[in-house]
């Protein structure tokens, strides 16, 4: 089965997507090591050209370019297409392309020796620890790239062509250091033909969701299932509901480890909603023991009507989902009529993380390569072959999309500027685990919503007081 671009045991897929912009399950890189070698050596000396309207980044036309790509489920043909466009513009440049699966193992020695490639797709289970690279000043500031004219639309900057949140996902202490190529959206999935045949309408409010669940259960189908062994999956709709109620201020308070953030009415209300979902018997019996593949298989077999997941679900279910199942994704319903964000708001974040090493030999070429890769032309070709939403706005315009990807695109369009993402999961792994564990207990009726809130707040307070943990703010 085509599980994910990041090969390896679950929850690699989710963890990597969550950690695309910050540290997570990456290959450890010791700060003392990544700063090894001569800091005075200017490897880029002589590898820059004259900046002008046609060459805004000052690329030296005949300078060699070394590109290292994570060769996972997306392959690396999309990267080679961008390289073809690069050599068409700079025919004298020789490109050394390497597609590898274990980025960290391949490149850690080179970062230690201060001889890294010019551009790196730092993705996969064994990727380099980006937080350590950042603290060791081994990653280039991408501001110049973001402010350069877009490759195929000089009237706009690269920054202006990206979907909401993409720049922020790769920003550390106000400096953009990575740029993520794919865009993941989280929501609730169902079979459009099943709902049509039953006369069901997917709800926009939580009260209507509970009413629908009663109808689905009466029809002999479990209303919901979830990937019980990995409760972070059901965290997404819970935290998404809370974000809609409390708005950006709630998300910011959680990520900034503010006192009593987890006791906010929006979070407590969302926890109460999911406790009620479980209490009414609307979760498929036995879901707690299911892996992601088992839960998703049960859902695609019609044993449950709704499942929470990210936008990789359709690709992950290829070869398993029956013909004409036509899965689609919907936003999490609104909890209250006074929510700060509209019900169409969605949780979204970018992934497939690209960077230009600070010690690159041809950093101008590395940034130019990214300017080409993040062009609409390149992103559109990627969407056609990968079945995944790129981080470039409008990249799917004019394409005939599958039901799942089409619904994801439509959800992003409907959300507009109201997309959101929590950063605590990537910044603070212990807190992420505390939330996962508490939510698993909540939806299996072993703790109350108030106890859920108290448990997580205690974990957040412990982190906030721990001086050995680097803190991030937003």
* Omega before residue 158 within 30° of 0, cis: no
Query: 157: alpha, beta or left, given left = phi > 0 and alpha = psi -120 to 50?
Result: beta
The last residue of one of the domains, among 364, 384, 409, is: 409
> CA angle 356-77-67, nearest 5°?
25
pLDDT in tens, the chain (474 residues): 333 333 333 333 344 344 433 333 445 444 444 444 445 567 777 788 899 999 999 999 999 999 999 998 788 999 999 999 999 999 999 999 999 999 999 999 999 999 999 999 998 878 898 878 988 999 999 999 999 999 999 999 999 999 989 999 999 889 999 999 999 999 999 999 999 999 999 999 999 999 999 999 999 999 999 999 999 999 999 999 999 999 999 999 999 999 999 999 999 999 999 999 999 999 999 999 999 999 999 999 999 999 999 998 998 888 889 999 999 999 999 999 999 999 999 999 998 999 999 999 999 999 999 999 999 999 999 998 887 899 999 999 999 999 999 999 999 999 999 999 999 987 888 999 999 999 999 999 999 999 999 999 999 999 999 999 888 888
Query: 199: alpha, beta or left, given left = phi > 0 and alpha = psi -120 to 50?
Result: left
Q: Tell me the C-alpha distance between 224 and 64, whole Å.
A: 54
CATH assignment at residue 102: 3.40.190.10
CA 267 to the chain's CA centroid: 22
- The pTM for the full model equals 0.81
| Torsion angle of C-alpha atoms 398, 402, 407, 410, degrees rounded to 10 | 0
Instruction: Please answer whether residues 409 and 158 qualify as being in contact, where contact means their C-beta atoms are separated by less than 8 angstroms.
Output: no
Q: Tell me the C-alpha distance between 331 and 333, whole Å.
A: 6
Does a structural domain hold residue 2? no
Q: Tell me the C-alpha distance between 348 and 285, whole Å.
A: 29
Could you tell me if 233 and 331 lie in one domain? Answer: yes
Q: Tell me the C-alpha distance between 166 and 181, whole Å.
A: 9
Could you tell me if 234 and 293 lie in one domain? Answer: yes
| Torsion angle of C-alpha atoms 453, 454, 460, 461, degrees rounded to 10 | 150
SS3 at position 88: helix
Does a structural domain hold residue 4? no
Could you tell me if 139 and 34 lie in one domain? Answer: yes
Could you tell me if 180 and 272 lie in one domain? Answer: no
Q: How many helices (H) and strands (E) would you count in the chain?
A: 19, 13
Instruction: Please answer whether residues 273 and 335 qualify as being in contact, where contact means their C-beta atoms are separated by less than 8 angstroms.
Output: yes
Could you tell me if 82 and 162 lie in one domain? Answer: yes
SS3 at position 413: helix
Owning domain of residue 167:
12-184+352-409
Radius of gyration over every alpha carbon of the chain, rounded to an integer in angstroms: 23
The last residue of one of the domains, among 409, 435, 455, is: 409
Helix or strand holding residue 207 (H, E)? helix 206-218
Does a structural domain hold residue 170? yes
Could you tell me if 330 and 386 lie in one domain? Answer: no
Secondary structure of the chain: what % helix, strand, coil (to 5)? 40, 15, 40
Find where tokens 């969302």 sit.
270
Closest CA to 435 of 243, 267, 259, 256: 267
Could you tell me if 360 and 265 lie in one domain? Answer: no
Does a structural domain hold residue 58? yes
Amino acid 465: pLDDT = 97
Nearby residues of 228 by Cβ (< 8 Å), 6 or more positions away: 286, 287, 288, 289, 290, 295, 440
Amino acid 77: pLDDT = 94
What angle, rounded to 10 degrees, do the helices at 77-89 and 376-386 form? Answer: 160
Q: Which two tokens stand for residue 8?
A: 């390896």
Does a structural domain hold residue 471? no
Does a structural domain hold residue 415? no
Q: Tell me the C-alpha distance between 381 and 397, whole Å.
A: 11
Amino acid 41: pLDDT = 64
Closest CA to 137 of 313, 306, 359: 359
Q: Tell me the C-alpha distance between 235 and 220, whole Å.
A: 26
Does a structural domain hold residue 26? yes
Could you tell me if 179 and 192 lie in one domain? Answer: no
In the chain, the number of structural domains is 2
Could you tell me if 160 and 288 lie in one domain? Answer: no
Could you tell me if 394 and 298 lie in one domain? Answer: no
Instruction: Please answer whether residues 252 and 348 qualify as being in contact, where contact means their C-beta atoms are separated by less than 8 angstroms.
Output: no
Could you tell me if 180 and 190 lie in one domain? Answer: no
Q: Tell me the C-alpha distance between 266 and 398, whole Å.
A: 39
Does a structural domain hold residue 374? yes
173, 306, 383, 431 from 465: Cα distances, Å: 20, 40, 44, 13
Could you tell me if 170 and 277 lie in one domain? Answer: no
Instruction: Please answer whether residues 201 and 195 qualify as being in contact, where contact means their C-beta atoms are separated by less than 8 angstroms.
Output: yes
* Omega before residue 280 within 30° of 0, cis: no
Amino acid 13: pLDDT = 39
């Amino acid at each position: 089965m085509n599980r994910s671009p990041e090969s390896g045991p679950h929850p690699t897929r989710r963890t990597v997507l969550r950690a695309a912009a910050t540290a997570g399950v990456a290959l450890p890189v010791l700060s003392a090591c990544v700063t090894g070698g001569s800091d005075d050596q200017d490897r880029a000396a002589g590898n820059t050209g004259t900046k002008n309207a046609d060459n805004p980044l000052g690329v030296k036309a005949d300078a060699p370019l070394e590109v290292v790509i994570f060769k996972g489920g997306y392959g690396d043909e999309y990267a080679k297409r961008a390289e073809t466009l690069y050599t068409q513009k700079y025919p004298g440049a020789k490109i050394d392309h390497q597609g590898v699966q274990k980025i960290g193992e391949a490149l850690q020695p080179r970062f230690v020796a201060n001889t890294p490639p010019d551009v790196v797709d730092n993705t996969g289970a064994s990727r380099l620890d980006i937080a350590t690279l950042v603290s060791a000043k081994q990653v280039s500031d991408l501001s110049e790239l973001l402010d350069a004219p877009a490759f195929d639309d000089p009237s706009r900057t690269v920054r202006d062509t990206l979907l909401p949140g993409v720049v922020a996902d790769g920003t550390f202490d106000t400096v953009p250091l990575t740029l993520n190529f794919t865009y993941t959206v989280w929501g609730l999935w169902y079979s459009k033909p099943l709902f049509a045949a039953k006369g069901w309408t997917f709800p926009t409010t939580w009260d209507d969701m509970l009413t629908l669940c009663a109808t689905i259960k009466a029809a002999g189908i479990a209303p919901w299932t979830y990937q019980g062994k990995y409760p972070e999956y059901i965290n997404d709709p819970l935290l998404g509901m809370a974000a809609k109620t409390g708005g950006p201020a709630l998300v910011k308070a959680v990520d900034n480890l503010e006192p009593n953030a987890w006791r906010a009415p929006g979070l407590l209300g969302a926890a109460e909603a999911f406790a009620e979902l479980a209490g009414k018997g609307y979760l498929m019996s036995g879901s707690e023991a299911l892996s992601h593949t088992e839960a998703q298989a049960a859902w695609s077999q019609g044993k449950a009507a709704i499942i929470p997941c990210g936008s990789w679900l359709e690709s992950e279910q290829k070869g398993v989902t029956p013909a004409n199942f036509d899965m689609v994704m919907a936003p999490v319903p609104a909890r209250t009529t006074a929510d700060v964000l509209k019900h169409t708001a969605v949780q979204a974040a970018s992934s497939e993380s690209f960077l230009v090493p600070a010690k690159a030999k041809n950093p101008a070429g590395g940034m130019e390569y990214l300017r080409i890769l993040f062009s609409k032309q390149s992103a559109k070709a990627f969407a056609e072959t990968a079945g995944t939403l790129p981080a470039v706005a409008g990249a799917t315009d004019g394409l005939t999309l599958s039901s799942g990807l089409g619904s994801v695109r439509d959800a992003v369009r409907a959300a507009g500027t109201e997309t959101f993402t929590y950063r605590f999961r990537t910044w603070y792994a212990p807190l992420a685990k505390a939330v996962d564990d508490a939510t698993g207990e909540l939806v299996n009726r072993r703790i109350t919503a108030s106890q859920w809130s108290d448990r997580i707040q205690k974990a957040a307070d412990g982190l906030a007081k721990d001086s050995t943990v680097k803190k991030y703010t937003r």
